[in-house]
Amino acid sequence: MKVYEIAGSFGLDRLRIAERPDPEPGPGELLLAVKAVALNRRDLMTVEGSYNPKQPLPLVPCSDAAAEVLAVGEGVTRFAEGDRVCPLFSRGWLSGEPEREKLRSTLGGPLDGTLAERMVVPAESAVAAPEHLTDEEASTLPCAALTAWSAVVTHGRTRPGDVVLVLGTGGVALFALQVASLAGARVIVTSSSDDKLARARELGAEGTINYRKEPEWGRRVKELTGGRGADLVIEVGGAKTLSRSLHAVRMGGTIAMIGALAGGEAPLSVIPILMRQVRVQGVMVGDREGFEAMNRALAAHDLRPVVDRAFPFDEVPAAFRHMASGKHFGKVVVRVS
């Protein structure tokens, strides 16, 4: 079978197609034919070596996929041949609180990931793909969609009428916009692109802010909410945008820390967190139980992920470069078979 490997050293120019033996499922396992793979920022950082410079190589990168079950191992009852599934990002996290052991088995590092024609996973670490989604759409669910669901629903406990502030228009951000709208929330979205903000309004955003034109966007959020602030902030910028998120969130509100696109370290006063009783909640994707709950909601409301573009399997480096450019709106996907 064909796989993509980071071999010898890190770097996008070191990402190569390689041949590996076809795997076989053991007891309790599934043999999957990978149909589509969605790219995440973590995948690009892994390829470049900035996510975990100590990651042993060679490594098959990427964490998200939609696949068809080709064969089942002895004792498997959850799935049958021909079923469409999505593997979990973290194989060991089925339910409950995150624990170190549950998070040791993540795809795309330290374990080989999804950028392969075939893969074997434990049957318990896969979920059924929603029937109404294409393979390309379903491939976007394991990381970006589940992270947004965990932030908005599991941790954010978003209710009708709440205000949710979403930073940016990347994969997690757009899922958060869609899920929050599904929950009946008023959503405000920030971006540096007026075109992307217009598309966000088409997806249900009630308010939009161009942070290039309004760098003090926390103040603008207060204006849009009558001085109250947002109930929940989907924070993907990191330390360098957190101070403005603290300005934008209401007293007693929640900031869901998901990414650090603008940087992981910056001077920060913790006084607003203390004096305004703000909850800063780290979000690490989610468990199988949450994944299945999310899929039920997507199916019930016919919600479809936003896919920017799908690349063929032999153009994976181009797909990564497209994602790195920041020009995409929604998820960048690779068709495998």
Decide if 293 is inside a domain.
no
pLDDT of amino acid 100: 87
Render 133-191 in DSSP notation, one character per residue: S-HHHHTTIIIIIHHHHIIIIIIT---TT-EEEEESSSHHHHHHHHHHHHTT-EEEEEE
pLDDT of amino acid 261: 53
Is 317 found in the same domain as 192? Answer: no
Please tell me the distance from the alpha carbon of residue 41 to that of residue 299, in angstroms, as a whole number: 26
Is 47 found in the same domain as 117? Answer: yes
Query: Residue 265: which domain range?
Result: 145-282
Domain-terminating residue out of 282, 297, 318:
282
Decide if 276 is inside a domain.
yes
Is 34 found in the same domain as 106? Answer: yes
Q: What is the average per-residue pLDDT within 227-248? A: 91
Is 196 found in the same domain as 132? Answer: no
Is 179 found in the same domain as 70? Answer: no
Please tell me the distance from the alpha carbon of residue 102 to that of residue 124, in angstroms, as a whole number: 13
Instruction: Work out the burial of residue 156: count CB atoms within 10 Å of its CB; fewer than 13 is exposed, 13-18 middle, 19 or more buried.
Output: buried
pLDDT of amino acid 145: 97
* Residue 120 Cα distances to 24, 96, 202, angstroms: 7, 24, 39
pLDDT in tens, 305-325: 999 999 999 999 999 999 999
Is 113 found in the same domain as 20? Answer: yes
Decide if 295 is inside a domain.
no
Is 240 found in the same domain as 112? Answer: no
Is 163 found in the same domain as 130? Answer: no
Is 106 found in the same domain as 14? Answer: yes
pLDDT in tens, 87-112: 999 999 999 999 988 888 999 999 99
Please tell me the distance from the alpha carbon of residue 112 to that of residue 62, in angstroms, as a whole number: 8
Residue 266 pLDDT class (50, 70, 90 cuts): low
Contact 267, 98 (CB under 8 A): no
Res 262 pLDDT > 60:
no
Is 136 found in the same domain as 151? Answer: no
**In whole numbers, what is the pLDDT of the chain averaged over residues?**
94
pLDDT above 70: percentage of residues in the chain:
97
Q: Residue 36: how many CA atoms within 13 Å on its side-chain side?
A: 23
Provide the number of structural domains found in the chain.
2
> What's the pTM?
0.95
Please tell me the distance from the alpha carbon of residue 50 to that of residue 264, in angstroms, as a whole number: 12
Helix or strand holding residue 219 (H, E): helix 217-224
Q: Residue written as tokens 């650090």? A: 260
Is 314 found in the same domain as 207? Answer: no
Is 150 found in the same domain as 90? Answer: no
Cα 204–210–211 angle (5° rounding)? 125
Cα 314–320–326 angle (5° rounding)? 145
Residues 6 or more apart in contact with residue 219 via CB below 8 angstroms? 247
- CA quadruple 292, 299, 174, 103: dihedral, nearest 10: 10
Decide if 14 is inside a domain.
yes
Q: What is the average per-residue pLDDT within 215-238? A: 94
CA-nearest of 151, 191, 157 to 172 is 151
Res 177 pLDDT > 60:
yes
pLDDT of amino acid 260: 56
* Residue 160 Cα distances to 152, 154, 202, 221, angstroms: 12, 15, 19, 18
